[in-house]
Amino acid sequence: MIAGLAIGVLLLEGVLRLAGFTPNYIAADPTIGYRFFPHARYRWIAEGRSSGRINGDGWRDVEHAMPKPAGTTRILMLGDSFTAAFQVPLDSTFHRRLERGLNARAPAGRRYEVIAMGEDGNGTTTEYLTYRAWGARYDPDVVAVLFILNDAADNWQPVALDQARPFFVADGDSLRLDRSFADTPGYRKYERWRWIKAHSVLWGLAHRALGVWQNRAHAPATGTAAATAAHEPALPTTPAADGYYRDWNFDARIPADSIPAFRLTAQILGRFAGDVRRDGRRFVVFAAGFAFQEDRRLLAESRRDPNFDPEKTTRWLASVGARYGFEVVPLSPAFRAASIALDRPLWFGAYGRYGHWNATGHAVAARAMEDYFAHAADSTRSAAGVPGRTP
């Protein structure tokens, strides 16, 4: 009986593989909570569509040699699901487009290499730890962070949706890293049966099905407001009914520096920038926006609210950059211009419920970054002796 069951499981495993299903490609990690299995295959159909293989270092990117080739400016791009970008084919992501665009504009004898280390759910803390643990080994000239407007919430443990990750805790003017997640039963269970989780399609499918069932079991009955309330807990400092992301980032009545998550994020960015600067590298933050501050129709609707301030977070980030000595490059102007010029969505999803960038959105982001990097490299090449690296 046991032998028959085993044969049946193996047959089902083979059928699922032939049907195009892939094993789970995310593993528990004691440094950042979880990360991708090196060389794991993936097939993404939840939003957009893509398939391929995680690279040998455990990121959704092409392979990169550890030693930096001569005459190369390396850009390390850190971020969350917008950087991992499973929603589009790898060649359509902003970081692959950015590398192609910069190399097309580079002078003879120079080239650019963009190394992407993005993962779903990342905040500034995990991006900082990713740089220290993996990114710095590639000797980048520029360390860039794609800042998404939910990053402040991901950094602050009281409201973070994902608790199985490390968190910085403010301790006066300094920061203390709390890694206690690795000692919890919830985390330790993900370390068990690692080989099966990495190679079994059947286990991965069952795990994903269980996750969908649990989400539906705990979801509210109907309504956007109810869904928002379930996933974005209300706080005393957030008077609006549609969740703290919008309140924190756009409500003119709530000063950014009065929000604990923003104050903590400023400290993390300060530490991040300081480490990168001490390593002799340039640090830059690209500030991405949400569709309702960039889509021409949604922006017009949002501006009917007298308390809506579409530039609130960008101004705050710029002030943090001025305080700690790094550049902040807003992407919203490029997206607003593209929304007007192209008059089509730059995000996946239905109107008013847009999600991640589609291929057109990635192209817009890549071109804005390309313009910045081309100018930044030209302005520092002769002074630093190394393209893109500050003196």
> What are the structural domains, with CATH classification, of the chain?
2-384 (3.40.50.1110)
Phi, psi values for residue 374, rounded to 5°: -60, -40
Check residue 210 and give its pLDDT: 47
Q: What is the mean pLDDT of residues 10-32?
A: 64
pLDDT at 173: 84
In this structure, which amino acid lies at residue 41? R
The average confidence (pLDDT) of the chain is: 83
The larger pLDDT score, comparing residue 122 to residue 246, is at: 122
- Confidence check: pLDDT of 236 > 70: no
Q: Is the pLDDT of residue 257 over 80?
A: yes
When pLDDT is cut at 50, 70 and 90, the band that residue 218 belongs to is very low
Considering only residues 76 and 24, tell me which one the structure prediction assigns the higher pLDDT: 76
**Residue 176 to residues 154, 173, 262, 266, Cα–Cα distance (Å):** 16, 10, 16, 14
pLDDT category, 245, cuts 50, 70, 90?
A: confident
Task: Establish how many alpha carbons lie within 13 A of residue 310's alpha carbon, considering only the half-sphere containing its beta carbon.
Answer: 23
pLDDT grade, residue 226 (50/70/90)?
Answer: very low
Count of other CB atoms within 10 angstroms of residue 106: 17
Q: How far apart are CA 375 and CA 373, in angstroms?
A: 5
Q: Is the pLDDT of residue 26 over 50?
A: yes
Task: Give the gyration radius of the chain's Cα atoms.
Answer: 22
Q: What are the backbone dihedrals phi and psi of residue 65, each rounded to the nearest 5 degrees, phi first?
A: -70, 145
- Per-residue confidence at 277, pLDDT binned at 50, 70, 90? very high
Is residue 292 pLDDT above 50, yes or no? yes
Name, in order, each residue with C-beta under 8 angstroms of 388's C-beta and a sequence gap of 6 or more: 73, 75, 141, 142, 282, 373, 376, 377, 380, 381
Residue 227: which pLDDT band, with cuts at 50, 70 and 90? very low
- Per residue in 29-83, pLDDT (tens digit) is 999 999 999 998 898 988 999 999 999 999 999 999 999 999 999 999 999 999 9
The whole-number pLDDT of residue 389 equals: 47
Neighbours of 95 (CB within 10 A): 27
Taking only the tens place, the pLDDT of each residue in 330-378 is: 999 999 999 999 999 999 999 888 999 999 999 999 999 999 998 876 5
Nearest to 60 by CA among 32, 79, 74, 73: 79
Per-residue model confidence as pLDDT tens digits over 157-194:
998 988 889 999 998 889 999 999 888 776 666 655 55
Residue 205 has pLDDT above 80, yes or no: no
Calculate what percentage of the chain has a pLDDT beyond 90.
65
